[in-house]
Amino acid sequence: MSKKISILLPVGFFLLFSLSVTIAATLVAEDKKTAKPKLVTLKDGRKLEGIVTETPKGIQVETKLAPMTFLNDEVQSIEELVTPKDIYITRRSKLNTKDAKALYKLARWVWKTYPDNMNLLQSANDDLEAALKLGKDYTRAQLLLQQVKAKIKILEKETVKGQKATGKDKTVLEKDLVTDRDILWIRLMELRETDKVPIKYKNDVLMRYVRDMQGREIDDWDKLWKKRRFLGWTRMKQVMEILANKPENTSLLKDIHVTSDPKFMTDFRTRIWPVIRSTCTAMAGHEVLKPKGGLRFFVSGSKSVRVDYTNFLILSGFKKDGKRLIDRQYVDNSLVLQYGLNPKISKDRHPGNIPPIFTDKNSFRYRRVYNWIKSLKGPLGPNYHIHAGYSPAGMKLDTSGLPDIPSDDAETKE
C-alpha cells in the first residue's frame, strides 16, 4: 500500500503542475490578445509603439517589425497610446448629438486637425449630414460638408493610385469573383418593387409564365380577365408576382435580366462598403491573399462590378461560429455591426485589436449600416442560385436561402 502511494503522489503532483502551466499560458495568451499598443519613450530619445510585456529585467515591445527588449534603466516612460480616433470618440461622447452646432464644431475640429485622415473625415462627413438633418439651413455645415466630400474624393484617388502602383490587383483571381450570370441572379433575387431599373425578358418568359399559371387558383389566375390585366402591368409589377409564385423555378427566372444595379447595390457601393473597408478590412487584415480568420474581401485598383458583387455576396453568406456577418432576421446581431462597436458594449467582440467603427448603436454610421441590412430581402436571405462549386479564396458561403440548421448539441425546448 505504501509503495502505491509513493508512486501516485509524484504523478498527481506532475498533473497539477502541468495544469497550472497550461492555465498560466492561456492567461498570457488572453492578455496578449486584449492588450493595447503603448508608447514607449527611451532615454536616448527614441519612441516605439507596440504591445508591451514585462520581462525579469525590463520590457519587451512587439513592434510592427520585430519584438525588441530593453532594460528598465533604458526606459524613460511608458504611456497609453492615444490615437486620433480615440480623441474623436472622447470628444463626441461628451456632446449633445441633437445639437447641430455641436456636431458642426466637432467636424470642423477634424477638418482643421486631421485633414488627411480618411477615417476621421468620413466621421466628420456623417456628423455634418446629421447636423443638416437637424437644421437644413445651416449654411456653414453645408459649406464644410462640400469641402470634406471633395477632400475624401482626393484621398480615394490617391489610394487607388497607390494600389495600382503596388500591383494589388494581382491578388484578385478570376475564379474568386462572381460571374456576370451570378450578378444577374443577385440583382433579380434582391429586387424590390420600388427599384427603378431596366428589365429585359428573354425566350418568351412572360408567356411561359402565363401558360403555366392559367387556371390555377392563385392570384386570380382562375379568372378569365387575369391574363389581360397581368400583361398590362409594368415589368416591375410582373416580375414581383413571378418571384412570389416561382422563387425556385430557375428555368423561368434565368430569362429575366435586371440590367443595372438596384438600390441595395448602389447604397452598398457608395455608403456601406467605404465604411467597412476604411476600418475593418484594412486594419483587421481581411484584404490579404490568404483569408484571415477565414474571411477575405477583395479590392480592385479600378472600378469593378464583379468585385463589388463578390464582396456583397461574402457579407451576405459568410458565417463565423454559426453567426452571420449580416443577420437579416435579427439585424443588431449582425457581426458586421457587433464587430464595429466598442468592445465594452459589443455582444460579439472582434477577435482582432481594431478601433471601433461605431461610437454606439445610435451613431450615424451604425444606423446607416443597420437600415441598409434591414432594407435587404428577409428575414432569410434569398437563394442567389450561384454557380456550383463557387468558393472565393476557399471560403464557404451560405447563399442557399435556407434557415440555419441548429447544432447537434442544441437543446430542444418543448
Which tens digits make up the pLDDT trace of 150-161? Answer: 888 887 776 555
Which tens digits make up the pLDDT trace of 238-253? Answer: 999 999 999 889 999 9
Residue 28 pLDDT > 60: no
Confidence at 318, pLDDT banded by 50, 70, 90 = confident
Residue 83 pLDDT > 60: yes
Give the global pTM. 0.59
Residue 278: the pLDDT is: 62
Q: What are phi and psi of 200, to 5 degrees?
A: -115, 140
Residue 12 pLDDT > 60: no
Which tens digits make up the pLDDT trace of 124-175? Answer: 999 999 989 887 778 888 899 999 988 888 877 765 554 444 344 446 788 8
Residue 65 pLDDT > 70: no
Residue 300 pLDDT > 60: yes
Q: What value does the mean pLDDT of the chain take?
A: 80
Which tens digits make up the pLDDT trace of 327-364? Answer: 999 999 888 888 888 878 877 776 666 677 788 888 88
Residue 380: the pLDDT is: 81
160, burial (CB in 10 Å: exposed 0-12, middle 13-18, buried 19+): middle
Confidence at 310, pLDDT banded by 50, 70, 90 = very high
Contacts of 382 (CB under 8 A, 6+ apart): 189, 190, 247, 401
Residue 413: the pLDDT is: 39
Residue 116 pLDDT > 70: yes
Residue 352: the pLDDT is: 62
Confidence at 34, pLDDT banded by 50, 70, 90 = low
Least Cα distance to 179 among 316, 317, 318, 310 occurs for: 310
Residue 258: the pLDDT is: 96
Residue 194 pLDDT > 80: yes
Confidence at 19, pLDDT banded by 50, 70, 90 = very low
Residue 209: the pLDDT is: 96
Residue 290 pLDDT > 80: no
Share of the chain above pLDDT 70, in %: 78
Residue 305: the pLDDT is: 92
Residue 106 pLDDT > 90: yes
Considering only the C-alpha atoms of the chain, give the largest distance between any 2 of them, rounded to a whole number of Å. 99
Among the ranges given (25-34, 117-126, 274-283, 364-373), the one the predictor scored with the smallest mean pLDDT = 25-34
Confidence at 301, pLDDT banded by 50, 70, 90 = low
